[in-house]
Amino acid sequence: MRTSRAVSVALLAALATASVAACSSDSTESSSTGGSETVAACEPSGEDVVNLSFTSWIPGIEDAVAKWNEQNPDIQVAVQTGPNGNSGTYQNFFNQLKAGNAPDLGQIEYDALASFRVQGGLQNIGGCDVVQEAQPEFIDWTWDQVSFGEEGNAYAIPQDTGPMALFYRADLFEEAGIAVPVTWDEYAEAAEKIDAEGGKITNFSTADINQFAGFAWQNGASWFEADDEGWTVNITGAETEEVGAYWQDLIERDLVASYPAWTDEWNNAYNSSEVWTWVSAVWGANTIQDGAPDTAGNWAVAPMPQWDSAAPASGNWGGSSIAVFTGTDYPYEAAKFATWLNTSEESLTILADTANIYPATLDGINLPTLQSGVDFYGGQVIWDVFAQAANQVPANFTWGPTMTDTYASISDGFKQVVTGNSTVSEALTAGEESTVSTMNSQSIPVKE
Amino acid sequence: MSSSIPMNRTRKRQGFLAVFILPFGLLFTLFYILPILYAMWQSTRVVERDGTFGAAREVFGGLTQYQNVFSNTEFWESIGRVLMFGAVQVPVMLGLALLLALLLDSPLVKGRRFFRLAYFAPYAVPGVIAAIMWGFLFSPNLSPFDWVMTNVDFMSPTLVLWAIAIVVTWVYTGYNMIIIYSSLLAIPQDIFEAARLDGAGQVRIAWSIKIPLVVPSLVLTTIFSIIGTLQLLTEPQVFKTFSTAVNSTYTPNLAVYAASSIPDYSLAAAMSVVLAVATFILSFSVLKFTQRKAD
């Protein structure tokens, strides 16, 4: 007995050392290839049939991919869908990149692009002729997001944007004789009147920090800046603090609800007419339709309330791109598919119909499917409001390289705010501190 | 000559043993030992890069990540939180499990098989489903017991930890009961006979004979429960979406998860190693303490 135990221990030890050695040699290899910074040559692979893998969470994207596969027998794309980015797909991407088995293409929102780039996960497809040809078709600020403002580089192809507007219960506003607010001041006044009617003007989400960023974006804030020397973090700038103080006031006066967003309770608050408005992005049109079916026909869309009605601006919440991951053997074919997916009328029509994807192309606004009224919104052609908003989004907003952590720490702070244990301003300060220390731990240079 | 025959036999037996151990040994190494060693190795790495978007390089960083873990207040707060949770929830759960096991074992109870299954059934419900279900029950707007929930907010910062405790207790009481119950069944019947001849009633038998004899299985379930408590993940993860009181570092495993989604795998690995060591020390102390008491 004793000898056999000794044998097995020795065996284990041998196996273990061998595998540790294997691990370490593996990782040096992957870290040296990770993050190609120069524009790589982008040539067709020359193979007869190229098979690409693609991960996304957009409902109905399978239909667009099926259309592509039908038309391109030599480049076949297999699509896999999962939960949306921050709910798990990004974590999967990071894990797959570390393990060296990432798909060829992936759906990535603009706010997460920098995070993937600093991890060396994005292939620079700026050298592909298909990409260069497509660039002029996109709205300028979306191209800035995928090129990080660098001439000739492209780390993804923009798919859609999330211009924000005010979704509101037209019927309730009319019955109560409250004017639809045009400025944020009027919005706060309306909040008081709605509170007197026994409702709440909106729900303050502690989970959607990108929505709050959209509010700050509208007010001209930029949370990050990157140049050759490093990053500047400015989550507590005057523009953001102004927005923060505004919501702090509404929360303190108990004029907004604070249901945990994206839960049945939250849906119920809208469906039961307790909450009257939602300042959200174009894709939110789907969310209300699904979550509050009993209120069909009673909603309408107006432009986002303004800080300065003389200089109208709009925020942006979400919007995503299709990136090609490093490690793909077929950058050219992948870029070709991504470009088709996000520029061709047939693909954009499918995506607009099934997922209320609002195209990032200049021409996308003219898609026939975006010209018709929507029954849920009393037949209003809601797209017109978003088309106007899309043109009013300030171009200079930059996302940071560790947004997962930034969102998590601000969200933790906001959770304290709605229970009355903290303030929005304190949450933003804590978020900035956490962001800087996480960037330091990742050796990402931060300028003071 | 005479000694070579037993030698051969031993060698043969060792060969057989190796064959039988191999499948277990291989899987155990692949999915248990290696990941642990990998985590320990990963925890010694730090990231280096040049420039704003410079490529990341992993280099040896010694104990840097452990320094980060020890200076991470959220992580230690989360450990304190689960220790408080365990100090209350584990005794309550095991007390209930013991009581149920004793009831099942007493000759007074009818429908033993049905109750055994009924108590055990919650353990068969997947953790996520159980947490979501209880989340609905606790919601002031959606709960069928809304008259309770509007008065007592189980999702508030003061109560949410105990709401999680209720879910965990509901799921695991039956499981622990089965372990205790099977050790009750293993007690020889002649002891009870002797007790009855001495005039002991059912309560007296339970208190003076059954409980002392199932102490080893109580120790076992305590250690399982301590490990489970320190590794709480599913329930707080689900409650995080329902409650504004559960943050991203509410339990140690949630903190590990948050670190790995940055992605900061080295910090997550260091946290995991510290958590494993803490779990080991705690379980081992409980074992030592109870053994000394038994002596």
pLDDT tens for each residue of chain B, 295 residues long = 445 556 677 778 888 888 999 999 999 999 999 999 999 999 999 999 888 888 788 999 999 999 999 999 999 999 999 999 999 999 999 999 999 999 999 887 888 889 989 999 999 999 999 999 999 999 887 888 878 888 888 988 899 999 999 999 999 999 999 999 999 999 999 999 999 999 988 899 999 999 999 999 999 999 999 999 999 999 999 999 888 899 999 999 999 999 998 899 999 999 999 999 999 999 999 989 888 766 5
Q: Which residues of A touch B136 (CB under 8 A)?
A: 264
Return the CATH number of the domain spanning residue range A164-317+375-441.
3.40.190.10
CB spacing of A443 vs B258 below 8 angstroms: no
What distance in Å separates the CA atoms of residue A445 and residue A225, rounded to the nearest whole number? 12
DSSP state of A157: E
Interface test with B, best of A29, A118, A275 (most B CBs within 10 A): A118
Shortest CB distance from A27 goes to which of B14, B17, B58? B58
CA A420, chain centre distance (Å): 29
Give the model's pLDDT for residue B290: 84
* Domain contains B222: yes
What distance in Å separates the CA atoms of residue B63 and residue B72, rounded to the nearest whole number? 14
Q: Which DSSP helix (H) or strand (E) runs through A173?
A: helix A170-176
Record the tokens describing residue A187, joined without a space: 């919005």
SS3 content of chain B, % helix, strand, coil (to 5): 75, 5, 25
CB spacing of A12 vs B25 below 8 angstroms: yes
Does the CB of A262 have a partner CB in chain B at under 8 Å?
yes
Record the tokens describing residue A290, joined without a space: 């699904």
Q: Are residues B18 and B146 in the same domain?
A: no
Instruction: State pTM to two decimals.
Output: 0.87
Q: Which residues of A touch B264 (CB under 8 A)?
A: 438, 441-442
Does the CB of A109 have a partner CB in chain B at under 8 Å?
no
What distance in Å separates the CA atoms of residue A216 and residue A225, rounded to the nearest whole number? 15
Show which of residues 152-171 on chain A sit within 8 Å of chain B, judged by CB atoms: none
Q: Are residues B54 and B91 in the same domain?
A: no
Phi, psi of A278 (to 5 degrees): -145, 120
Q: Which of B38, B60, B82 is the last residue of a domain?
A: B60
Residue among A120, A366, A262 nearest B53 (CA): A120
Give the model's pLDDT for residue B239: 94
DSSP state of A304: P
The residue type found at B135 is G
For residue A359, cis peptide bond before it (omega within 30 degrees of 0): no
The vertex-B236 CA angle with B63 and A418, nearest 5°, equals 100
Give the model's pLDDT for residue A213: 97
* Domain contains B66: no
CA B285, chain centre distance (Å): 16
The residue type found at A445 is P
Contact (Cβ atoms closer than 8 angstroms) between residue A160 and residue A359: yes
Record the tokens describing residue A383, joined without a space: 């797209």
CB spacing of B14 vs A120 below 8 angstroms: no
Shortest CB distance from B55 goes to which of A35, A231, A258? A35
The CB density around residue A217, as the number of other CB atoms within 10 Å, is 25
The residue type found at A48 is D
Shortest CB distance from A8 goes to which of B21, B46, B249? B21
Q: Give me the residues of chain A with pLDDT under 50, please.
A: 1-37
Does the CB of A444 have a partner CB in chain B at under 8 Å?
yes
Longest dimension (CA), chain B: 87
Q: Which residues of B touch A418 (CB under 8 A)?
A: 244
Q: Which residues of A touch B267 (CB under 8 A)?
A: 441
**What total of structural domains would you count in chain B?**
2
Closest A-chain CA to B65:
A441
Q: Are residues B52 and B95 in the same domain?
A: no
* Domain contains B67: no
Helices B160-185 and B112-124: crossing angle in degrees, nearest 10, is 140
What distance in Å separates the CA atoms of residue A13 and residue A7, rounded to the nearest whole number? 10
Strand partners, A164: A281
What distance in Å separates the CA atoms of residue B271 and residue B187, rounded to the nearest whole number? 43
**Chain A: nearest CA to B52, how far in angstroms?**
5
| Residue A105 backbone class (left: φ over 0; alpha: ψ -120 to 50; beta: rest) | beta
Does the CB of A98 have a partner CB in chain B at under 8 Å?
yes
What distance in Å separates the CA atoms of residue A225 and residue A396, rounded to the nearest whole number? 9
Q: Are residues B49 and B94 in the same domain?
A: no
Contact (Cβ atoms closer than 8 angstroms) between residue A401 and residue A446: no
CB spacing of B37 vs A19 below 8 angstroms: yes
**Chain A: nearest CA to B160, how far in angstroms?**
13
The vertex-B143 CA angle with B142 and B148, nearest 5°, equals 130
Shortest CB distance from A443 goes to which of B49, B156, B246? B49
The string of DSSP letters for A364-419 reads GGG-GGGSS-BGGGTTB-THHHHHHHHTTS-TT----TTHHHHHHHHHHHHHHHHT
Task: Using alpha carbons, list the distances in angstroms from residue A293 to A77, A283, A378, A383, A410.
Answer: 35, 16, 13, 20, 32
Q: Are residues B35 and B123 in the same domain?
A: no
What distance in Å separates the CA atoms of residue A212 and residue A217, rounded to the nearest whole number? 8
Closest B-chain CA to A118:
B53
Contact (Cβ atoms closer than 8 angstroms) between residue B18 and residue A7: yes
In chain B, the DSSP E strands lie at: 45-48, 57-60
CB spacing of A441 vs B37 below 8 angstroms: no
Task: Using alpha carbons, list the distances in angstroms from residue A319 to A53, A133, B259.
Answer: 22, 22, 25
Q: Are residues B81 and B196 in the same domain?
A: yes
Segments in B43-154 forming alpha helices (H): 64-70, 73-105, 112-124, 127-138, 146-149
Closest A-chain CA to B267:
A441
Which residue reads 């960083």 in tokens? B61
Q: Are residues B19 and B90 in the same domain?
A: no
Contact (Cβ atoms closer than 8 angstroms) between residue A412 and residue A333: no
Domain made up of A50-161+318-370: CATH architecture:
3-Layer(aba) Sandwich (3.40)
DSSP state of A234: -
What distance in Å separates the CA atoms of residue A196 and residue A23, rounded to the nearest whole number? 64
Q: Which residues contact A63 (CB under 8 A, 6 or more apart)?
A: A350, A354
| Backbone CA torsion sign across A334, A339, A342, A347 | negative
Closest A-chain CA to B24:
A8
Show which of residues 413-442 on chain A sit within 8 Å of chain B, judged by CB atoms: 415, 418-419, 421, 438, 441-442
Residue among B229, B276, B278 nearest B35 (CA): B276
Q: Which residues contact A390 (CB under 8 A, 6 or more apart)?
A: A139, A161, A163, A314, A358, A365
Query: If you count them, how many residues does chain A have?
Result: 448
What distance in Å separates the CA atoms of residue B257 and residue B208, rounded to the nearest whole number? 46
The CB density around residue A50, as the number of other CB atoms within 10 Å, is 21
Strand partners, A107: A322
Residues of chain A with CATH 3.40.190.10: 50-161+318-370, 164-317+375-441
For residue B230, what are the domain limits? 73-294
Q: Which residues of B touch A442 (CB under 8 A)?
A: 47, 49, 56, 262, 264
Q: Are residues B42 and B83 in the same domain?
A: no
CB spacing of A442 vs B248 below 8 angstroms: no
Q: Are residues B96 and B239 in the same domain?
A: yes
Structure-derived torsion over alpha carbons of residues A287, A288, A289, A290, reported in degrees to the nearest 10: 50
Closest B-chain CA to A262:
B241
Shortest CB distance from B141 goes to which of A7, A268, A421? A268
Contact (Cβ atoms closer than 8 angstroms) between residue A105 and residue A112: no
Does the CB of A405 have a partner CB in chain B at under 8 Å?
yes
Using CB atoms within 10 A of its CB, is residue A324 exposed (0-12), middle (13-18) or buried (19+)?
A: buried
CB spacing of A419 vs B156 below 8 angstroms: yes
Q: Which residues of B touch A37 (CB under 8 A)?
A: 53-55
CB spacing of B56 vs A11 below 8 angstroms: no
Residue among A255, A301, A260 nearest A278 (CA): A301
Contact (Cβ atoms closer than 8 angstroms) between residue A318 and residue A210: yes
Q: Reduced to 3 states, what is the DSSP secondary structure of residue B294?
A: helix
CB spacing of B17 vs A4 below 8 angstroms: yes
Counting one residue from chain A and one from chain B, the pairs whose CB atoms sit within 8 A come to: 138
Helices A345-355 and A61-71: crossing angle in degrees, nearest 10, is 160
Give the model's pLDDT for residue B295: 58
CB spacing of B53 vs A16 below 8 angstroms: no
In A270-341, the DSSP E strands lie at: 277-281, 299-303, 320-324
Interface test with B, best of A8, A117, A406, A436 (most B CBs within 10 A): A8
Using CB atoms within 10 A of its CB, is residue A420 exposed (0-12), middle (13-18) or buried (19+)?
A: exposed
Does the CB of A206 have a partner CB in chain B at under 8 Å?
yes
Strand partners, A77: A52
* Domain contains B22: yes
| Residue A356 backbone class (left: φ over 0; alpha: ψ -120 to 50; beta: rest) | left
CB spacing of B258 vs A408 below 8 angstroms: yes
* HEC readout, A191-223: HHHHHHCCCECCECCCCCHHHHHHHHHHCCCCC
